[in-house]
Chain A
Amino acid sequence: MDLLDDLKKIENEAEEELKEVESLDQLEELRIKYLGKKGAVQSVFSKMGKIKPEQRPVVGKEANILKNKIQNWLGEHQERLEKKAAQKRFEAEKIDVTLPGGKVEAGRSHPLSLVTKEMEDIFIGLGFEIAEGPEVESEYYNFEALNIPAHHPARDLQDTLYIDDHYLLRTHTSPVQVRTMEAQEPPVRIIAPGRVYRSDELDASHSPIFHQTEGLVIDKGISFSDLKGSIELIVEALFGKDRDVRFRPSYFPFTEPSAEVDVSCIVCGGEGCPLCSRTGWLEIMGAGMVHPNVLEMSGYNKNVYSGFAFGVGLDRLALLKYGIDDIRVLYENDKRFLHQF
Chain B
Amino acid sequence: MQISYNWLKKYIDINFTPADLSEKLTMAGLEVEGVDYLGEGLDDIIIARIEKIKEHPDADKLVICMVKTGSDTELIPVVTGAPNVEAGQMVPFAEVGAVLPGGMQIEEVKLRGELSRGMICSKDELGLQEERAAGIMVLDDDAPLGGSFIKYKRLDDYIFKLDLTPNYARCLGMIGVAREIKSLYAQEKTLNTPPISFEEAEELGDINDYVEVEIEDPDLCPRYTARLVKNVQIKESPEWIQRRLKAAGIRPINNVVDISNFVLMEYNQPLHTFDFNKIKDGKIIVRRAKAEEKMLTLDEEERILDDEMLVISDPEKAVAVGGVMGGANTEVTEETTDVLIESAYFNPVSIRKTAKKLGMHSDSSHRFERGVDIEKVIEANNRACQMLAKCDGARVVPGVIDNYPLKFEPAVITLTAERVNELLGIELEAAEVKESLERLGFTVEKTTGEGEFEVTVPSFRTDVEQGADLVEEIARVYGYNKIPSTRPISKQRGKRSPRQKFEAKVKKLLQAGGLDEVITYSLQDKKSYQDLNLTQFEDYAKFVSIKNPLSEAFGILRTTLLPGIIEVLSSNARRQGSEMAVFETGTVFRNKGLSSRPEELNKLGGGIFGQNNNLWQQGAPNFFALKGVLEMLFNRVQLDKYSFIADNDNRDFLHPGRRAEIKYDQTQTFGFIGEIHPELADQNNLPAGTTVFELDLDFLFEITAEKSYQYHKLVKYPVLARDLAIVMAEDIAVGDIHQAIRAKGGSMLKGLELFDIYQGDQIEDGYQSAAFELKFQAEDRTLTDQEVNERFNQIVNHLKEEYSAEIRGN
- Where the two chains meet, the residues of A that have a C-beta atom closer than 8 Å to any C-beta of B are 104-110, 112-113, 117, 120, 123-130, 134-136, 138, 151-154, 156-157, 161-167, 169, 187, 189, 195, 197, 199-202, 208-209, 217, 219, 221-226, 228-230, 232-233, 246-251, 256-260, 277, 289, 291-292, 306, 330-335, 338-339
Contact = CB atoms under 8 A, between A and B. Distances in A.
Interface stretch (B242-250, B331-339, B462-470): B462-470
Given A187-B492, A331-B521, A228 B485 contact: yes
Given A249-B475, A258-B472, A129 B353 contact: no
Interface string B507-534: 1001111111111111100000000000
B166 A110 contact: no
A60 B544 CA distance: 109
Contacts of A292: 466-468
A153 B164 CA distance: 12
B488 A217 contact: yes
Contacts of B495: 124, 129-130
A223 B423 contact: yes
Contacts of A332: 571
B575 interface: yes
Contact of A223 (B424, B572, B583, B597): B424
Contacts of A249: 27-29, 472, 475-476, 480
Nearest to B166: A153
B547 interface: yes
A109 B486 contact: no
Chain B residues touching A, majority SS = mixed
Interface in B531-590: 544-550, 554, 557, 568, 571-572, 575, 577, 580-583, 586-587, 589
A225 B483 contact: yes
A229 B517 contact: no
In which size bucket is the chain B interface?
A: 35 or more
A161 B34 CA distance: 30
A151 B548 contact: no
B581 A107 contact: yes
26 contacts: A105-B514, A107-B516, A124-B496, A126-B494, A129-B495, A134-B597, A136-B544, A153-B352, A161-B549, A162-B547, A165-B595, A197-B523, A202-B550, A221-B422, A222-B488, A225-B484, A229-B487, A230-B487, A246-B27, A257-B468, A260-B31, A292-B466, A306-B423, A330-B519, A332-B571, A333-B572
A102 B289 CA distance: 80
B165 to A, nearest CB: 3
A336 B29 CA distance: 42
Nearest to B463: A251
A224 B517 contact: no
A167 B597 contact: yes
A189 B493 CA distance: 10
Contacts of B467: 292
A153 B369 contact: yes
A225 B598 contact: no
B513 to A, nearest CB: 7
A251 B463 CA distance: 11
A151 B517 contact: no
Contacts of A200: 550
Residue in A153, A209, A259, A333 whose Cβ sees the most chain B Cβ within 10 Å:
A333
A136 B597 CA distance: 8
A168 to B, nearest CB: 9
B480 A107 contact: no
B135 to A, nearest CB: 36
Which 10 A-B pairs have CB atoms at the shortest separation, nearest pair first?
A225-B425, A127-B490, A249-B29, A251-B165, A257-B472, A223-B425, A107-B511, A124-B494, A229-B485, A256-B468
B177 to A, nearest CB: 15
Contact of A153 (B370, B484, B598): B370
Given A130-B500, A223-B422, A195 B483 contact: no
B158 to A, nearest CB: 15
Residue in B166, B167, B485, B495 whose Cβ sees the most chain A Cβ within 10 Å:
B485
B168 interface: yes
A219 B594 CA distance: 40
Interface of B: 26-29, 31, 34, 165-168, 349, 352-353, 369-370, 422-426, 466-469, 471-472, 475-476, 480-481, 483-488, 490-497, 500, 504, 507, 510-523, 544-550, 554, 557, 568, 571-572, 575, 577, 580-583, 586-587, 589, 594-595, 597-598, 600
B481 A246 contact: yes
A257 B557 CA distance: 36
Contacts of B544: 136, 163
Contacts of A164: 547, 594-595
Contacts of B167: 251
Nearest to B421: A223
A132 to B, nearest CB: 8
Contacts of A259: 480
Given A224-B424, A229-B485, A163 B580 contact: no
A126 B517 contact: no
Nearest to B426: A225
Residue in B497, B500, B546, B581 whose Cβ sees the most chain A Cβ within 10 Å:
B546
Contact of B471 (A110, A256, A330): A256
Nearest to A247: B480
A113 B511 contact: no
Contacts of A123: 494
A209 B521 contact: yes
Nearest to A108: B516
Contacts of A197: 523
Contact of B26 (A109, A228, A248, A333): A248
Given A256-B468, A257-B475, A224 B481 contact: no
A230 B489 CA distance: 11
A226 B487 contact: yes
Residue in A128, A209, A223, A230 whose Cβ sees the most chain B Cβ within 10 Å:
A223
Contact of B496 (A113, A120, A157): A120
Given A228-B483, A230-B487, A257-B472, 9 more contacts: A120-B496, A129-B497, A189-B492, A195-B522, A201-B550, A229-B485, A249-B472, A250-B165, A257-B471
A331 B520 contact: yes
A217 B492 CA distance: 12
A164 B515 CA distance: 37
A334 B571 contact: yes
Given A125-B494, A135-B522, A333 B582 contact: yes
B546 A331 contact: no
B700 to A, nearest CB: 17
Contacts of A167: 597-598
Nearest to B350: A151
B489 to A, nearest CB: 9
Contacts of B597: 134, 136, 138, 167
Nearest to B28: A249
A166 B516 CA distance: 37
A329 B727 CA distance: 54
Given A110-B518, A333-B518, A232 B485 contact: yes
Nearest to A252: B165
Contacts of B497: 129-130
A88 to B, nearest CB: 37
Contacts of B426: 225
Contacts of B485: 225, 228-229, 232
Nearest to B352: A151
Contacts of A260: 31
Nearest to B425: A225
B514 A248 contact: no
B512 A106 contact: yes
A256 B523 CA distance: 33
Contacts of A161: 523, 546-550
Nearest to B504: A117
A200 B568 CA distance: 23
A339 B516 contact: yes
Residue in A125, A130, A233, A291 whose Cβ sees the most chain B Cβ within 10 Å:
A130
A247 B517 contact: no
A107 B504 CA distance: 14
